Every structure is written in C-alpha cells, then in structure tokens.
A and B are shown apart, each in its own frame.
Chain A
Amino acid sequence: MCGATRGGPSLDGVDLEKESVIQGIVTKEGEPVGNAYVRLLDATGEFTAEVPTSATGQFRFFAAPGQWTLRTLAPRVQPVDRRVQAQRGSAVDIEVTLEAV
C-alpha cells in the first residue's frame, strides 16, 4: 500500500505513562500484510489477546510491563513467534517479517 509508514500505528492519544504498548507492523517480501492475525502470549505462553492487522499491516496491544511473545498467523505462511519486553513509558515497536511457505 502506498504511503504506509514503517512500524506501528501513530501513538497520538495514547497515554504512555499508563499503558505498556506493544505494537508494530507485519510484512512479507517488504509489503505490509493486511490479513494477518497477531496473538499476544504471556510469559508462560498462555494466550492473552489477538488482533487482526489493519489494511496497512499494523497492530497494537496494551499489555503490562514484562516478557511477552507475539505469534503471527497469516494465510499460506508459517506462524512466526517474536519475544518482546514491554514497559511503561515507551512503546515497543517491531516489524514481524513473514516468509512464504
């Protein structure tokens, strides 16, 4: 999609003093993936939340400080797990890169 910014959605209006944001973008071959599902798993691997990516491939979670895993599912790719550390005060912004099966 033309004009898509790299990284997660804009943080305008998000109170980072109160929220521990994990966000980012899902890409495949350099292009945003708008039909992926990102699952947030807690430190024990238990499911906590899931969001579909936006048309621009972006996603966001409001977590708590600590260790989390992002598991990304999409049509015709292998699920990808990424470990992230969330904290108050600054958002974690990551790019999840998918590879075709």
Chain B
Amino acid sequence: MSRESALVTADWVEEHLADDGVVLIEVDEDTTAYDKGHIAGAIKLDWKNDLQDPVRRDFVSKEQFEALLSERGVSNDDTVVLYGGNNNWFAAYAYWYFKLYGHQDVKLLDGGRKKWELDSRELVEEIPTRETTSYTAQEQDLSIRAFRDEVVAAIGVQNLIDVRSPDEFAGRLLAPAHLPQEQAQRGGHIPTAGNVPWSKAANDDGTFKSNEELEALYAEAGLDRSKDTIAYCRIGERSSHTWFVLQELLEIPNVKNYDGSWTEYGSLIGVPVALGDEPGEA
C-alpha cells in the first residue's frame, strides 16, 4: 500500500462514483448521517449493527461478513471507497476491518464527509439498489490486530501509541469530549505509550497531512522503526485512523490496531496504568 493506492481525493470520487466496479460506502459514528444525505450511489454500513457481534464484544465472523457484503452487493473484485464523518474515524475503522478480512482494493476518501460538505459538493437522499453478490472473505489477518495479552507484553518493548486526546491520555477525561464522561473503567494510559493524538495527522478539513509532515510527527514522537507498533484509543476507531497513517500512508511494517483499546485495558484487573502527561515506566 501507498498513499497513491490507499487514498483518493474528492475530485477522483466525483469522476468515478458511477463507474462499474467502484462501490462507495459511508460509515459514520452518527449512523443516521447517511439518511440525511450521502454521496450519490453510496451505500451505508453501520459500524455497530453491521460490524459488531450483537452479543459478545467482538467483530462479526468471516461467514457473517461474507453474508453482509453479499447482501449489500459488494464483490471481491470491487474497488471499495470508504468515507464518513468525524474525520473518517469510522471509515478508517471500516478500512482496517476490510483489510482484516482480506479485501484487496479498498480506499479512503481524503477528508471524508466533512471535506465533501465544506466543499459544498452534492449529497443525495436516494438509496441505491445493488444486485446481491457471493462475497468470499479471508480468515482474519491477525498481523494487523492486537489483543490484550500482546499489548501487556509490549509495554516497554514495542512502540505503543495512544492516539487519544492529551486529556484522555493523562486520565483527566475518560472519553472524547463529544460523549458523556461517566464510564466504568479507570482513567490513564498504558505505561510507556507515547501520546500522538490522531488529530495531529489530519488538517482541520479532515484531509491527511502530507507524508513529509507525518514522517516528522512520528519521528518527533520517538517512533522507533526497528520495533513493531501497536496503536490504541478508546474503542479502536481513532487508532484505525493512525494505523492507516502508519501502515498505509507511511508504509511502516508491523503495525497493529488494538481494538479492545482503553475500554478493555482500563477495565482489566492487575495491569499497570500510568497517569499524567508522561509515558511512564515499564
């Protein structure tokens, strides 16, 4: 992957949105955003109802993912272009999810829904119909997904990047500030994690910064390219944004997203937690 293959501009989408073999998919934290208007031809995926198991805290199975994409009319050889609100948080999460299940050609619309709206580009309410397909997913690619035990083992060993806001990192806030703060878990961060808020990788309009700016950002934060890397946030969607930057735009190998993130880690009994603005000791 590279910036050229993983990212498309709004102009590119306007030119190609009606092409055969291109499927636009909107994924938002606010799952009603699509219903109020979306890019012409785009279908919707609901990050919770479609992509999360309804009972256990986990993703849908390979078979469920196959059934979902078949029903929505996505083919294995389609170019999937994802976009969404919140600076593409949930679209980046879906991108990572499509990669987890082995979809070959998936791209992110640079700037997502916000850039599209700020440019005053067209949104429509018409919901497209697509022929059902017979989609085949791969087994999960666990080279890009981290679980709690390997996160604990990575303390002081691998690059750990906490991409939440500085106040969440320090333990002063428990959730991003557009959500109520009352939560079950403890505040703080995984010891030795550096804090590089996901937002530093994006411009105000939601587009990604240039590769030169991104290289400088992570170099300044002390990211050691000789080590493997795990990114996390609160529930794994903002860290998908950073995973996308590191692995897809900067082509850094061996980057995993810890989707359990702080809502899991901050509730574990017995694991170390660091408070305050410094990474802390292993």
Contact B85 A42 (CB under 8 A): no
Contact A52 B182 (CB under 8 A): no
Instruction: Name B196-213 residues within 8 Å CB distance of A.
Output: 197, 199-200, 204-205
A-B contact pairs, 5 of them (CB 8 A): A18-B181, A42-B166, A62-B181, A64-B172, A73-B118
Residues of chain B having any CB pair with chain A under 8 Å:
30, 33, 36, 85-87, 114, 117-120, 165-167, 172-173, 175-182, 197, 199-200, 204-205
Of A14, A50, A55, A75, which is in contact with the most chain B CB atoms at under 10 Å from its CB? A50
B159 CB to closest chain A CB, in angstroms? 21
Given contacts A40-B178, A51-B178, A74-B118, 6 further A-B contacts (CB under 8 A): A19-B180, A40-B177, A42-B167, A47-B200, A49-B165, A73-B205
Considering only CB atoms and an 8 Å cut-off, how many residues of chain A contact the other chain? Answer: 29
Chain B hits for A19, CB < 8 A? 180-182
Chain A hits for B167, CB < 8 A? 42, 48, 64
A76 with B182: in contact, given A42-B167, A48-B167 (CB under 8 Å)?
A: no
Main secondary structure of the interface of B (DSSP, over half): loop
Tally of A-B Cβ pairs under 8 angstroms: 73
Contact A52 B85 (CB under 8 A): yes
A44 with B117: in contact, given A39-B204, A50-B178, A62-B179 (CB under 8 Å)?
A: no
A80 CB to closest chain B CB, in angstroms? 12
Contact B204 A79 (CB under 8 A): yes
With beta carbons under 8 angstroms apart, the residue of B120, B177, B200 that contacts A63 is B177
Of B120, B177, B180, B182, which is in contact with the most chain A CB atoms at under 10 Å from its CB? B177
Q: How far is the CA of A61 from the CA of B200 in the complex (A)?
A: 20
A99 at the interface (CB under 8 A from B): no
